[in-house]
């Protein structure tokens, strides 16, 4: 273990030296120039790697971001691009103030992500893959790469600056997706029509295997289906099912089957695993974690049983600072205002089987008690889990934040029936058709519109409200509710009849409220 630790420390020190030294030899090419950020790729540090390339990209901000290691205004990321499968993996990140290195992070749990059509990632992917294959680009790469176009800040076609959802790492989360820290938005050509849902690439092998297990016919070997994994949360398994003969099905059957694969893939019933094999889940985890976590809001795996499902869920039953609670008899004091740093962001939305969860881009967060907390995701509950003097609201949205030290802070916004809420309607417009299929709309949302005008709040120390029920979470429940239309509540209830954990004992905890 000591040798491994020494090797890791040596690697980090070497990375710091390489980053500082390479800054002098960098040749940065502008990809996007917006009002608030500029995205560039270093042409001098694009290198061939197997079937793809490694490349450094960076986002230069027009402002400083405070960090425990010091303020920074530039983020660099080294990505590994698979030019054939159209996927990228973030290897490391570095934060600079000007040319001075502030800190660097080596991504310990690396994960491949799909290159979404029309995204900034696609532009960076295009530059990197063209650079290493300029001597003889394969047809597969030629079909998927596009020439770059620069967008200047004064361009009339430029849309408001928005952060993409593929920009950050959920640090400290053992199963969190790894995202690339590049920012801004790209214009859509006038001929392009907005897409409501971006379908994932099709995993031919996994689809045929699933089809065989459900009694369907396997696809012929010559069927024109992509071999790219259908979802980054579910890596494809190699197919052991022999291909069917070309005449094993009619053309009509073949078209129907291929259409089914292209839209949602063959439906299959999830096989339950023993509780000991399931992965942990909680307010701060990524959607993929829920796929193998067999807990529920009712039945044998309901809240009363959570603490018995896994050893690391025990605190759900034994903890003394659990959430949610009935908020009453708070001490009225002059609470510090929450400093929200929200702005336009592109987003990803998923039905993870427990709630509708929305991931956002980097750079959004809040500051409280002198600490900056990055916004990881937000999700919904019906009815509200927290109660105010015994009253439950129609719904609630929980905005989950995390500091560099790992401190979780959740802001709860209470929702009550009234007028229609435009931002929530945008989310509902993009609800996925299937569970655990992530949708990446082209439009952006402004989370400031999700907050009430009055930011007074109650605060107490509690826990995550889903397994593993981790304690030590700072809760801030805004006092003024936000209105949503009855039809919007009804839409959510069609997906989740009820997904609220029962109230937990206060156990003498101090509750403070703004006066």
Which CATH number goes with the domain that contains 489? 3.10.200.10
Q: Which of 243, 263, 283 is the last residue of a domain?
A: 263
Q: Is 377 within the bounds of a domain?
A: yes
Same domain, 325 and 474: yes
Same domain, 378 and 489: yes
Q: What percent of the chain has pLDDT over 70?
A: 62
Report yes or no: 209 and 202 within 8 Å, Cβ to Cβ. no
What confidence score (pLDDT) does residue 261 get? 39
Average pLDDT over residues 270-298: 50
Answer yes or no: pTM beyond 0.75.
Answer: no
Same domain, 25 and 138: yes
Phi-psi category of 450—alpha, beta or left, where left has phi over 0 and alpha has psi -120 to 50? Answer: alpha
Same domain, 258 and 327: no
* Residue 153 clears pLDDT 70, i.e. is over it: no
Same domain, 212 and 352: no
Q: Is 95 within the bounds of a domain?
A: yes
Q: Is 476 within the bounds of a domain?
A: yes
* Residue 225 clears pLDDT 60, i.e. is over it: no
What confidence score (pLDDT) does residue 48 get? 87
Same domain, 369 and 227: no
Q: Phi and psi at residue 500, in whole multiples of 5°?
A: -120, 130
- C-alpha closest to that of 234 among 259, 258, 209: 209
What confidence score (pLDDT) does residue 32 get? 81
Same domain, 215 and 80: no
For residue 417, count CB atoms less than 10 angstroms from its CB and return exposed for 0-12, middle for 13-18, buried for 19 or more. middle
Question: Residue 64 maps to which CATH number?
Answer: 2.40.128.710
Same domain, 348 and 494: yes
Same domain, 323 and 233: no
Q: Is 159 within the bounds of a domain?
A: no
Report residue 259 as tokens.
């259409």
- In DSSP notation, 153-209 reads TT-TTPPPP-B-SSS-B-TT-TTPPB--------PPPTTPPP-S--PPPP-HHHHHH
Q: What percent of the chain has pLDDT over 90?
A: 45
Same domain, 130 and 209: no
What does the DSSP 8-state code read for residue 220?
P
What confidence score (pLDDT) does residue 228 get? 35
Q: Tally the domains of the chain.
A: 3
Span 63-119, pLDDT tens digits: 788 765 678 889 998 999 988 888 888 888 888 988 898 888 777 557 788 787 667
Q: Which of 238, 263, 288 is the last residue of a domain?
A: 263
| pLDDT averaged over every residue in the chain | 74
Q: Is 341 within the bounds of a domain?
A: yes
Same domain, 246 and 347: no
* Residue 323 clears pLDDT 80, i.e. is over it: yes
Q: Is 391 within the bounds of a domain?
A: yes
Tell me how far apart the alpha carbons of residues 113 and 89 are, in angstroms, rounded to a whole number.
Answer: 6
Q: Is 75 within the bounds of a domain?
A: yes
- C-alpha closest to that of 282 among 114, 101, 116, 472: 472
Q: Is 324 within the bounds of a domain?
A: yes
Domain of residue 209 covers: 204-263
Report yes or no: 291 and 436 within 8 Å, Cβ to Cβ. yes
Q: Which of 241, 263, 285 is the last residue of a domain?
A: 263
Same domain, 325 and 460: yes
């Amino acid at each position: 273990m000591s040798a491994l630790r020494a090797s890791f420390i040596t690697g980090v020190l070497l990375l710091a030296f390489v980053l500082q030294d390479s800054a002098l030899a960098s040749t940065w090419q502008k990809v996007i120039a917006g009002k608030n950020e500029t995205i560039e790729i270093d042409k001098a540090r694009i290198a061939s790697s197997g079937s793809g390339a490694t490349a450094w990209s960076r986002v230069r901000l027009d402002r400083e971001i405070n960090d425990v290691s010091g303020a920074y205004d530039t983020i660099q990321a080294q990505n590994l691009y698979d030019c054939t499968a159209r996927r990228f993996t973030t290897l490391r990140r570095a934060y600079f103030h000007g040319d001075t290195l502030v800190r660097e992070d080596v991504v310990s749990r690396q994960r491949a992500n799909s290159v979404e059509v029309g995204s900034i990632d696609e532009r960076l992917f295009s530059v990197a893959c063209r650079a290493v294959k300029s001597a003889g680009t394969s047809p597969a790469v030629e079909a998927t790469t596009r020439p770059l176009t620069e967008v200047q800040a004064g361009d009339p076609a430029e849309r408001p600056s928005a952060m993409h959802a593929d920009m950050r790492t959920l640090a400290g989360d053992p199963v969190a997706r790894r995202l690339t820290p590049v920012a801004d938005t790209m214009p859509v050509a006038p001929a392009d029509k907005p897409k409501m849902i971006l379908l994932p690439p099709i995993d031919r092998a996994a689809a045929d295997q699933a089809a065989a297990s459900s009694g369907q016919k396997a696809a012929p070997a010559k069927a024109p289906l992509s071999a790219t994994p259908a979802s980054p949360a579910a890596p494809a398994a190699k197919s052991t099912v022999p291909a069917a003969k070309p005449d094993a099905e009619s053309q009509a059957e073949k078209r129907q089957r291929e259409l089914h694969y292209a839209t949602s893939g063959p439906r299959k019933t999830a096989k339950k695993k023993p509780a000991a094999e399931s992965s942990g889940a909680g307010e701060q985890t990524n959607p993929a974690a829920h796929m193998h976590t067999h807990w529920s809001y009712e039945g044998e795996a309901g809240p009363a049983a959570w603490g018995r499902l896994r050893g690391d869920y025990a605190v759900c039953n034994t903890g003394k600072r659990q959430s949610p609670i009935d908020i009453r008899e708070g001490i009225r004091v002059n609470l510090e205002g929450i400093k929200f740093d929200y702005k336009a962001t592109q987003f990803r939305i998923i039905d993870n089987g427990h709630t509708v969860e929305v991931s956002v881009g980097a750079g959004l967060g809040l500051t409280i008690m002198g600490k900056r907390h990055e916004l990881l995701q937000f999700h919904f509950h019906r009815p509200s889990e927290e109660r105010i003097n015994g009253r439950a609201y129609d719904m609630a949205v929980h905005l989950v934040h995390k500091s560099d030290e790992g401190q979780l802070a959740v802001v709860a916004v209470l929702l009550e029936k009234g007028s229609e809420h435009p931002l929530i309607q945008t989310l509902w417009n993009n609800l996925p058709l299937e569970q655990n299929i992530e949708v990446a709309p082209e439009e952006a949302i402004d989370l400031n519109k999700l907050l009430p005008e009055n930011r007074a709040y109650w605060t107490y120390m509690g826990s995550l409200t889903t397994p593993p029920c981790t304690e030590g979470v700072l809760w801030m429940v805004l006092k003024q509710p936000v209105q949503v239309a009855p039809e919007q509540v009804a839409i959510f209830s069609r997906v989740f009849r009820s997904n609220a954990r029962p109230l937990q004992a206060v156990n003498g905890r101090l509750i403070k409220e703004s006066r």
